[in-house]
């Protein structure tokens, strides 16, 4: 298996570098072909690493000093000017110069998107990068939702490119041979929706590079109807955060309902043990990690308050994308799609 290098922003996120290093320790055991570069403040990381002897002893871990940290409330424009030696910029530079094949950061989302665009640039022909994440499905599988906020407004051409990029990711990472692609809309009927989404639907119907199945609604997000669901960043961000809020409400209510009487606690524990595998697909940690598609490198955004297990999932997703060389595959498919459009317009 080809050896890979993944750069980790040790200073990003709400939980501090301890989460990153704990996830790294697990990743060393799980991915024996991968090297890791830990980027951050040596004065903070060096004493912390003493609590992780396996990480310190590993020949597959190196550390790169970064004197600055991007705070979660920093403005992206200010970060670009004032923090050139941040740990976030460091991991992106490692991908840019080819030292690493991918990077992971739990830092400021806006700053990461702006800095990624500046440092890595988009692939030739790609109009805009898209933020994409996995959603659990009723059948136990996963679907992809994009865009999640990188582009609040999009034209029809951009939505079509998102469909192409999402389709390539579904094929290469989720191993779906003919991923079903849909547009998120306010109804399934062709007459529903605004002009942009209607125009995008017409373009996708004419494309041979995606398996377009039509419109889906918000209640289809987890129904296994589609493998790739496309929308503008404004819609996608609200949809995702609404789902996250509902999940938190359900988990909290379930926890409270089983935390009172001794008997209910016992029943809850027995049920969990008996149906652990059946419920594992609901664990949000395994879906942590949103990819920035369309860039000349693999960039994985972990949730800011991710646990070590969740951050490990983000590392796993970055490794999968880097191993598949996803940016190159997206470049090839986008190029073919653009040639198809030019040919159709000539005809």
Phi-psi region of 214 (alpha: psi -120 to 50; beta: other; left: phi over 0): left
Judge contact between 20 and 41, C-beta under 8 A.
no
Same domain, 97 and 147: no
What are 90's two structure tokens?
């460091």
101 plus 151 within the same structural domain: no
The answer on 62 and 13 residing in a single domain is yes
State residue 339's pLDDT score: 81
In tens, the pLDDT along 113-167 reads: 999 999 999 999 999 999 998 888 877 788 999 999 999 999 999 999 999 999 9
Kindly report, residue by residue over 237-256, the tens digit of the pLDDT: 999 888 878 777 776 776 66
The CA angle 171-332-159, to the nearest 5 degrees, is 70
Residue 112 resides in a domain: yes
Query: Which residue in 30, 70, 28 sits closest to 49, CA to CA?
Result: 28
**pTM (2 d.p.):** 0.88
Residues 115 and 187 in one domain: no
Q: Which residue is associated with the tokens 């988009």?
A: 122
- DSSP code of 50? T
Name the residue range of residue 170's domain.
132-256
User: Tell me, what's the pLDDT at 278?
Assistant: 47
Q: What is the pLDDT of residue 191?
A: 86
- Looking at the fold, whether 43 and 115 belong to one and the same domain comes out as yes
Please state the rounded mean pLDDT for residues 96-122: 95
Range scoring the smallest mean pLDDT among 60-64, 74-78, 335-339: 335-339
Is 279 inside any structural domain?
no
In a domain, 234, yes or no: yes
Look at residue 269 and tell me if it is in a domain.
no
Query: Smallest Cα–Cα separation from 38: which of 59, 51, 21?
Result: 21
Between 70 and 136, the higher pLDDT residue? 70
Q: Are residues 154 and 229 in the same domain?
A: yes
Residue 145 maps to a domain: yes
Q: How confident is the model over 309-324, as a mean pLDDT?
A: 94
Q: Which of 240, 256, 272 is the last residue of a domain?
A: 256
Mark whether 161 and 214 lie in a shared domain: yes
One domain for residues 90 and 157: no
Domain tally, the chain: 2
Same domain, 210 and 139: yes
Q: What is the pLDDT of residue 241?
A: 85
Which of 193-202, 252-261, 294-303, 331-340 has the lowest average pLDDT? 252-261
Is residue 216 domain-resident?
yes
pLDDT classification of 285: cutoffs 50, 70, 90: low
Instruction: Kindly state whether residues 312 and 208 are assigned to the same domain.
Output: no
Asked whether residue 261 is domain-assigned, the answer is no
Same domain, 137 and 122: no
Give the CATH number, domain containing residue 225: 3.40.718.10
Are 39 and 81 found together in one domain?
yes
Domain's final residue, options 201, 235, 256: 256
Whether residue 270 lies inside any domain: the answer is no
**Residues 6+ away with beta carbon under 8 Å from 289:** 104, 133, 134, 300, 301, 302, 313, 314, 316, 317, 318
CA distance 23 to 241: 25
Q: What is the pLDDT of residues 18-50, one digit of tens each?
A: 999 999 999 999 999 999 999 999 999 999 999
In sequence order, what are the beta bridge partners of 64? 39
């Amino acid at each position: 298996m080809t050896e890979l290098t993944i750069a980790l922003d040790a200073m990003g996120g709400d939980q501090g570098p301890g989460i990153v290093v704990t996830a790294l320790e697990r990743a060393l055991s799980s991915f024996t072909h991968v090297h890791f570069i830990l980027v951050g403040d040596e004065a903070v990381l060096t004493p912390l690493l003493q609590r992780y002897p396996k990480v310190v002893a590993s020949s597959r871990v190196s550390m790169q000093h970064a004197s600055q940290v991007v705070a979660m409330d920093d403005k992206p424009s200010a970060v670009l000017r004032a923090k050139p030696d941040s740990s976030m910029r460091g991991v992106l530079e490692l991908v840019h110069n080819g030292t690493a094949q991918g990077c992971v950061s739990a830092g400021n989302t806006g700053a990461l998107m702006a800095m990624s665009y500046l440092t890595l640039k988009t692939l030739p022909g790609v109009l805009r990068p898209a933020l994409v994440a996995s959603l659990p499905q009723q059948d136990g599988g996963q679907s992809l939702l994009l865009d999640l906020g990188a582009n609040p407004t999009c034209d029809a051409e951009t939505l079509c490119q998102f469909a192409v990029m999402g389709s390539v990711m579904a094929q290469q990472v989720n191993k779906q041979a003919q991923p079903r692609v849909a547009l998120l809309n306010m109804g399934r009927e062709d007459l529903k929706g605004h002009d942009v989404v209607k125009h995008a639907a017409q373009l996708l119907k004419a494309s041979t590079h995606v398996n377009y199945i039509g419109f889906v609604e918000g209640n289809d997000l987890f129904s296994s109807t589609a493998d790739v669901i496309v929308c503008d960043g404004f819609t996608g961000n609200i949809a995702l955060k609404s789902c996250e809020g509902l999940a938190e409400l359900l988990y909290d209510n379930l926890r409270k309902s089983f935390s009172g009487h001794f008997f209910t606690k016992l029943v809850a524990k027995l049920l969990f043990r008996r149906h652990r595998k059946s419920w594992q697909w609901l664990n949000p940690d395994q879906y942590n990690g949103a990819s920035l598609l369309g860039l000349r490198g693999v960039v994985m955004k972990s949730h800011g308050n991710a646990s070590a297990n969740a951050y490990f999932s983000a590392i796993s997703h970055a490794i999968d994308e880097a191993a598949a060389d996803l940016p190159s595959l997206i470049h090839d498919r986008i190029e073919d799609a653009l040639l198809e459009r030019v040919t159709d317009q000539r005809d």
